[in-house]
Structure 1
Amino acid sequence: MDAEGDGPQEYGIYPEDDSIEENPETEGTNASRFAIAGALGATTLRGAPLDVVEPGMLEMFGFRDELQGAVDRLRGVDNILFGEGEFLQGTVRGGWQPREARHESWRRLNEGSVWHRLTLLAAGLCSSLERESVVAAVAVLNALPASLVIDLLGIDADDLLYPLPLSLSEPAVERVTWRSDAWAAESADQLSASADGDTRDVLRRLLLLAFERIRAALRSPDDVVRELAAVAWLRAIAVDDRVEQAGDDAETGANDEEAGGSVPPADVPDGAPPGTAPAAPARLSTLIHGTWAWQADWWYPGGDFHTHVLNGLRPALYDAGMPFSWSGELSGQHRAIAARRLKEWLTTATGGAGVGTVFAHSYGGEVAARAVNNGCPIPQLVLLSAPIHRHHRRALPLIPDVVDIRLRFDLVLTGALAKQRLRGPRVRNRIISKAFWQHGVTHDPALWHGEGLDAFVGP
């Protein structure tokens, strides 16, 4: 998934308590806090816990490390209804000031009162700042158990996870200018009015406001806001466990998350010292885009990242008229189909000689990992902001060199409830310390030049 624009936009990280203030300067920090708060305690449709928050994320944004364990102990519908829900109802009853509530709930949350988490997210949702309010809206959906949301709204699972057709860049969609003050006032009033009912009424209104905010954000002139809103759909990959993710591709001989199949490793020398880039074969290389990025240009011959890779990093990068692409649809079945077609495409494009390096962004990394697990040798896989699933872990023993390039904190992946670290003896990690709004910054040539990523990937 890629937000288009004039270039990557960086934001500052402020761990101090007073940075919780609704302020454009600290908007990125607070958006990150809301995303983390929503991810804490998140579960799948069936209630299985999702381990999303990586070590160091809480401290980075000023949370107390103990918070994660405290929230984990309180997973469950009853705790939401009669704990966080009742605290929220008491806060909004009789009128409330979201700016004051966010200070109080942030302070109390970090003093150990986990019941204030939902109140913090509600205050963020009512913010007049466009980006942090839409992140808070997605975080509300993540914070509430899916079974409770389905019950409160009287919908089914598909309506929750796939509620309407999605397009991030459809030109026919009229862009709607953000009315910051009107949203802040109206959303706060609606929550306050709902407090005269029971806790379920307050939570139902909170959910309806979150969906309203997300739908409006999809029409924003700000490409970053549209990308952040789309995370509400992207999260379905993690939440929807009604079908077994690994069941729609034939991963040979993999019995658990850490196991490898029986495919022999590609002929790249193994055993290079840690941090040293082994020489990649002078073979054809290719790029794989992620979800919804089929229409983007960066991966296509002539696109900015394709040009960057071709002009020096991998001169054998495919640049003919039929590059590999896939639907980019939000579907495990589509990613499985893409993996099979990648294997076929590589065989045809290389004349059976084998591929050199595969660069894969976001869920394109899952396509590559599935292909490896299906018997497609890839000697070097360069992952760019890839969410990590068991497909990746199963593929690790089969790939001689895995380069994992990602942000220290990825707003999109956190909102999508995706793991953000890949660890293993053959993995060379490169973490970008700067904070960016865009998930696609890791395929931006300017970042590659500034961070010296060509040298890290190796010849």
Structure 2
Amino acid sequence: MDAQGDGRQEYEIHPEDDSIEESPETEGTNASRFAIAGALGATTLRGAPLDVIEPDMLAMFGFRDELRGAVERLRGDNPIFGEGEFLQGTVRGGWQPRAVRRDAWRRLNDGSAGRRLTLLAAGLCSSLERESVVAAVAVLNALSASVVIDLLGIDADDLLYPLSLSLAEPAGERVVWRREEWAEDSAERLSASADGDTRDVLRRLLLLAFERIRAALRSPDEVVRELAAAAWLRAVALDDRVEPTVYDSETVADDEGRGGAVPPADVPAGAPPGAAPAAPARLSTLIHGTWAWQADWWYPGGDFHTHVAGRLRPTLYDDGMPFSWSGELSGQHRAIAARRLQDWLATATGGAGVGTVFAHSYGGEVAVRAVNNGCPIAQLVLLSAPIHRHHRRALPHIPDVVDIRLRFDLVLTGALAKQRLRGPRVRNRIISKAFWQHGVTHDPALWQGEGLDAFVGP
């Protein structure tokens, strides 16, 4: 998934407590805080815990380490009578979002994990467009699927693909953000639930979050649209109803990095960590991620394709039929894409095997599924890839894995995706600067500025 045309947009990280104030200077920090608060303690549809937040991410944004355990202890409680009651009491006391966010942040870091949802509600009512939509997605993540389904009277698919909205459909006319109007209206509407019960407060909060996400998809700001789309990407992590299909030969029970497919016979033993090994002088290719089929960065003539072909891999495929896939948000589509990648590589390389595969986001899952099905890849370069069992199982069969990602990825956090890959054959490069865009890791300017060409290797 990509936000196109905005260049590289950085934000400063402010771990100090007073940076919780609503301000353009601290919007990136607070959007990140909201994303983290929503992801802590998140579970799948069936209630299995999702381990999303790395330990260093908490301290980076001023959270105390103890918060993780405190939020996890809330998981066994009924949020309607836990976090919801705190929010209800705040609404009854007169809803002033800016004052509430200060108080909720202070109390949250003093150990009162029950203030988490109140902090997110205040963030949702922010006049700042980007932090407001991140808070909206975080509200959905903070409440268990069973509670959301019960409160709104919807089914699981409406939760995963919010209220049946489709990203495949035109978003309609762009709507200019009216910051003060949203801040006032959202605060008033949440206050209107003060005379109701806790369920009514939570219901109004959820409906407000869905409304905010729908509006964000029509924003002129492409970063805002990308942040809103995390509400759909959550489906990959949340939906544990999916069983293995005929399109996927992997064994679900094997999730410890041992591999489930026959190791490719022509792949040499893995290179030790350290200096970048020389890449095989074989055909290389790029794989785009979810919803990015229409983008041009990965296509011959696109900016990243041009960068890789000119500076890294002169054997990068540049003929008329590059590999692509649907980019649909579906495990079945990614499994089909992996099979088709195998077929494409066999044809394009004449059976000689592929040198380097550069894969962005969920394109990385397409690549590792192919490896687990027996497809030889000598070097895999992952760009902002969400990490799942498929990646861990593929590691023994890829001689060199290069994992390039942001120190904190707002979109992947909203999507409840694991963001770090570890293993003896993995060379990690984490970009220390903070960026709004999930797609910045395929920006040629970032590669040049961060020296990524040398890290990947000749």
State if a TM-score over 0.5 links the two structures.
Answer: yes
Kindly report which structure 2 residues correspond to 1:350-389, keeping only aligned pairs within 5 A, or say none: 350-389=349-388
Q: Report whether the alignment pairs 1:336 with 2:323.
A: no
Distance 1:425 1:409 in 2: 23
Between stretches 179-188 and 262-271, larger displacement belongs to: 262-271
Partner-residue secondary structure (3-state), 1:382: strand
1:374 and 1:390 mapped to 2: Cα distance?
A: 14
Contact 1:70 1:114 (C-alpha < 8 Å) held by counterparts:
yes
The residue that corresponds to 1:315 in the other structure is: 314
The 8 Å contact of residues 408 and 432 in structure 1, kept in 2 or not, is answered as yes
Instruction: Give deviations 1:81-137, integer Å, cap 9, x for gaps.
Output: 111100000001152210000000000000000010000000000000000000000
Quick check: 2:395–2:425 contact (8 Å CA) kept in 1?
yes
**TM-score by structure 1 length?**
0.97
- Aligned ranges 1:102-113 → 2 under 5 Å: 102-113=101-112
Quote the Cα distance in structure 1 between the aligned partners of 2:355 and 2:225: 35
After TM superposition, list the pairs within 5 Å mapping 1:227-376 onto structure 2: 227-244=226-243, 248-251=247-250, 255-265=254-264, 267=266, 269-270=268-269, 272-376=271-375
Aligned amino acid, residue 350 of structure 1: T
Is structure 2 residue 141 aligned with structure 1 residue 142? yes
Q: Quick check: 2:255–2:392 contact (8 Å CA) kept in 1? A: no
Q: Matched residues in 2 for 1:286 and 1:62: separation?
A: 40
Over 3 Å counting, the alpha-carbon distance change for 1:168 and 1:432 in structure 2 is farther
Question: Equivalents in 2 of 1:252, 1:38: separation in Å?
Answer: 31
Q: How does 1:41-56 map to 2 (within 5 A)?
A: 41-56=41-56
Q: Could you tell me which residue of structure 1 aligns to residue 417 of structure 2?
A: 418
CA distance in 2, matches of 1:422, 1:20: 30
The 1:65–1:350 alpha-carbon spacing in structure 2 relative to 1, beyond 3 Å, is same
Any idea what SS the aligned residue of 2:405 has? strand
Q: Does 1:214 align with 2:213?
A: yes
Are 2:133 and 2:213, in contact at CA under 8 Å, matched by a contact in 1?
yes
Partners of 1:348 and 1:386 lie apart in 2 by 26
Mean alpha-carbon deviation: is it higher for 153-162 or for 249-258?
Answer: 249-258
Q: Which runs of 5+ in 1 are unaligned?
A: none
Map 1:68-147 to 2 at 5 A: 68-76=68-76, 78=78, 80-147=79-146
Report the CA distance between 1:276 and its aligned residue. Answer: 1.4
For the Cα contact (< 8 Å) 1:237–1:330, is it kept in 2? yes
> Which of 208-217 and 249-258 deviates more?
249-258
Conserved in 1, the CA contact under 8 Å of 2:15 and 2:61?
yes
SS in structure 1 at match of 2:7:
coil
Provide Cα deviations, 1:390-411, integer angstroms capped at 9, x if missing partner: 0000000000000000000000
Counterparts of 2:5 and 2:208, CA distance in 1 = 28
**Contact map agreement 1:95 1:189 (CA 8 A) in 2:** no
1:10 matched to which residue of 2? 10
When residues 134 and 262 of structure 1 are mapped into structure 2, their CA distance, relative to the original with a 3 A threshold, is closer
Tell me the residue number matched to 2:156.
157
Contact 1:246 1:391 in 2 (8 A): no
Per the TM alignment, residue 264 of structure 1 is displaced from its structure 2 partner at its CA by 2.8
Q: In the alignment, residue 209 of structure 1 is paired with which amino acid?
A: L
Superposition pairs of residues 33-44 of structure 1, within 5 angstroms:
33-44=33-44
Change (3 A) 1:181 1:245: farther
Report if aligned partners of 1:289, 1:362 keep a CA contact under 8 Å in 2: yes
Q: How far does residue 318 in structure 1 lie from its aligned partner after superposition? A: 0.3
- Contact 2:271–2:400, Cα closer than 8 Å, also in 1: no
Preserved CA contact (<8 Å) 1:41 1:50: yes
Q: Which residue of 2 aligns with 1:200?
A: 199
Contact 1:83 1:115 in 2 (8 A): yes
Paired amino acid for 2:384:
S
Q: CA deviation at 1:173?
A: 1.9
8 A contact 1:168–1:227 mirrored in 2 = no
CA–CA separation in structure 2 for the residues paired with 1:202 and 1:168:
32
> Which amino acid counterpart does residue 26 of structure 1 have in structure 2?
T
Structure 2 length normalisation: TM-score? 0.97
**Alignment-mate amino acid for residue 324 of structure 1:** F
Larger mean Cα displacement after TM superposition, 21-30 or 65-74 = 65-74
Q: CA deviation at 1:428?
A: 0.3
Aligned twin of 1:453: 452
Of the structure 1 ranges 257-266 and 148-157, higher mean CA displacement relative to structure 2 is found in 257-266
Structure 2: where are the runs of 5+ without partners?
none
Find the residue that maps to 1:339 and give its secondary structure.
Answer: helix
SS at match of 1:391: helix
- The answer to whether the 8 A contact 2:44-2:239 is kept is yes
Q: Aligned-pair distance for 1:251?
A: 2.3
1:43 aligned partner, one-letter code: T
**1:82 alignment partner, SS class:** coil
1:407 to 1:245, Cα distance in 2 relative to 1, 3 A? farther
Structure 2 counterpart of 1:223: 222
1:90 partner letter: G
Question: For residues 10 and 453 of structure 1, what CA distance do their matches in structure 2 show?
Answer: 18
The structure-2 alpha-carbon separation of the partners of 1:149 and 1:247, relative to structure 1 and needing over 3 Å to count, comes to: farther
Deviation of 1:206 (Å): 0.2
Quick one: distance in 1 between partners of 2:443 and 2:244?
Answer: 30
Bigger mean CA deviation after superposition, 24-33 or 194-203: 194-203
Deviation of 1:37 after TM superposition, in Å, equals 0.1
Letter in 1 for 2:389: R
Hey, what's the Cα distance between the residues in 2 that align with 1:301 and 1:340? 22
Q: Secondary structure at the match of 1:56?
A: helix
Structure 1 residues 202 and 253 mapped into 2: Cα distance closer, same or farther (>3 Å)? closer
> Which amino acid in structure 2 is aligned with residue 414 of structure 1?
T
Q: Contact (CA 8 Å) 2:2, 2:226: kept in 1 or not?
A: yes
Residue 377 of structure 1 aligns to which amino acid in structure 2?
P
